[in-house]
Chains A and B, each alone.
Chain A
Amino acid sequence: GAVVSQHPSRVICKSGTSVKIECRSLDFQATTMFWYRQFPKQSLMLMATSNEGSKATYEQGVEKDKFLINHASLTLSTLTVTSAHPEDSSFYICSVTVGDSNEQFFGPGTRLTVL
Chain B
Amino acid sequence: GENVEQHPSTLSVQEGDSAVIKCTYSDSASNYFPWYKQELGKGPQLIIDIRSNVGEKKDQRIAVTLNKTAKHFSLHITETQPEDSAVYFCAASFNTDKLIFGTGTRLQVFP
Contacts and interface: CB of A to CB of B under 8 A. Distances in A.
Interface string B86-111: 00010001011111011110000000
B96 A109 contact: no
Given A43-B103, A43-B104, A93 B46 contact: no
A103 B43 CA distance: 15
A49 B93 CA distance: 14
Interface size class of A (residues with CB under 8 A): 20 to 34
A43 B101 contact: yes
B98 A49 contact: yes
Contacts of A106: 36, 43-46
Interface string B26-42: 00000010101000011
Contact of A108 (B42, B89, B93, B104): B42
A102 B45 contact: no
Interface of A: 1, 4, 6, 32, 34, 42-44, 46, 49, 93, 95, 97, 100-109, 111
